[in-house]
Amino acid sequence: MKKRNIVTFIVGAVLIIIFVLLLFAFQVRQSEMALVLTFGKPAAKPITEPGLYFKWPWPIQRVYRFDNRIQNFQDKFSQTYTADNNNLILTVYTGWKISDASLFYPKFVGSVPAAEKALEDMLRNAQSAVVGKHTLADFVNADPKQLKFDEMETEIQDTVQSQLSNDNYGIELEFVGFKKIELPESVTQSVFTRMKGERQVLISQEDNEGQKEASIIRSTADRQAAETIASANAAATRIRGQGEMVAADVLPIFQKDPALANYLLRLDALQQSLNQQTTLIFDERTPPYDLFTSIPTNAPPAAAGQ
């Protein structure tokens, strides 16, 4: 009986402790932020660090928890006109999170769907304003460098974030992007025709560049060939002149005694071939080596004193 009373006492004490903790303590998880209201008004700054905290029991204080992670939201399809009066069907997605629970709660009474409804209206207005400043070529273009998706997405994000900050919504946009862009059937054919024309312009530009490069290469080759031919002709003229000058010097000798001149020329050629220490293999019938066949074998002795 005594043991049963002890067990009952322990169980009762544990239940009382749990009840007290439920009344006077609360836990904040890693993915949450908490806002403590005292008589319906924020008592202090939002709690953003995870852990165990204490509070006064209701109705003095009440705790509201909010998800502090990035939440994705997608706008509905909407029609927007570009600066050149073309109709586009767009849908925009965004990532947002609660940056200040003390500002978020009074605006939306802690309701995420209410916040997304306000975001939808802001995104649609900002989208219309930004798209209205750009032409269709910024969305659809044969040249990828002419597309301006990043620029327009940044403009929409800056516009909406400025409005959120000015109105103290306690919301921060992390990113904004175009999820889908469609063209009405009435616009599709004209867009394809224009894209075909733009592509044809690019083809013409590439063709002109190719012809220009080919012309430069041909001109360079023709100039180099002309310079080479001119240099060769100049060398030939110089060699021909030197030969004619030598021929002019030798001509009088040939005219006086052609046999002697021919013999001297052959001797000179033979001397030049023997100037270096080399071994010659030649045909004795080939000038000037045929001189060796005409050397007398029994030459008379030289006269005394000579």
Order of strands across the sheet that contains 41-42: 41-42, 32-38, 61-67
Architecture of domain 71-183: 2-Layer Sandwich (3.30)
Comparing 157 with 238, the larger pLDDT belongs to 157
The two three-digit tokens of residue 166, written as one number:
């000015």
Structure tokens at 146: 């002419």
Specify the range with the lowest mean pLDDT, choosing from 188-192, 204-208, 236-240, 245-249: 188-192
User: What secondary structure letter does DSSP report for 56?
Assistant: P
Find where tokens 């890693």 sit. Answer: 30
pLDDT confidence of residue 201: 73
Q: Where does the pLDDT of residue 88 fall: very low under 50, low under 70, confident under 90, or very high at 90 and above?
A: confident
In the numeric block, which tokens belong to residue 155? 């403009």
State the burial class of residue 136 (Cβ atoms within 10 Å of its Cβ: 0-12, 13-18, 19+): buried
* Spacing of C-alpha 157 from chain mean position: 24
First to last CA, the chain: 167
Give pLDDT tens digits for 170-229.
Answer: 999 999 988 888 776 665 556 556 666 666 777 778 788 888 888 888 888 888 888 888
Give the distance between the most distant pair of CA atoms in the chain. Answer: 171
Strand pairing report for 41-42 and 51-54: unpaired
Got the DSSP string for 17-48?
A: HHHHHHHHEEEE-TTEEEEEEETTEE-SSPB-
Predicted TM-score (pTM) of this structure: 0.54
Where do the structural domains in the chain lie, given as residue ranges? 2-67, 71-183
Residue 162 CA to residue 126 CA, distance in Å, equals: 11
- Residue 127's closest CA among 177, 169, 174? 177
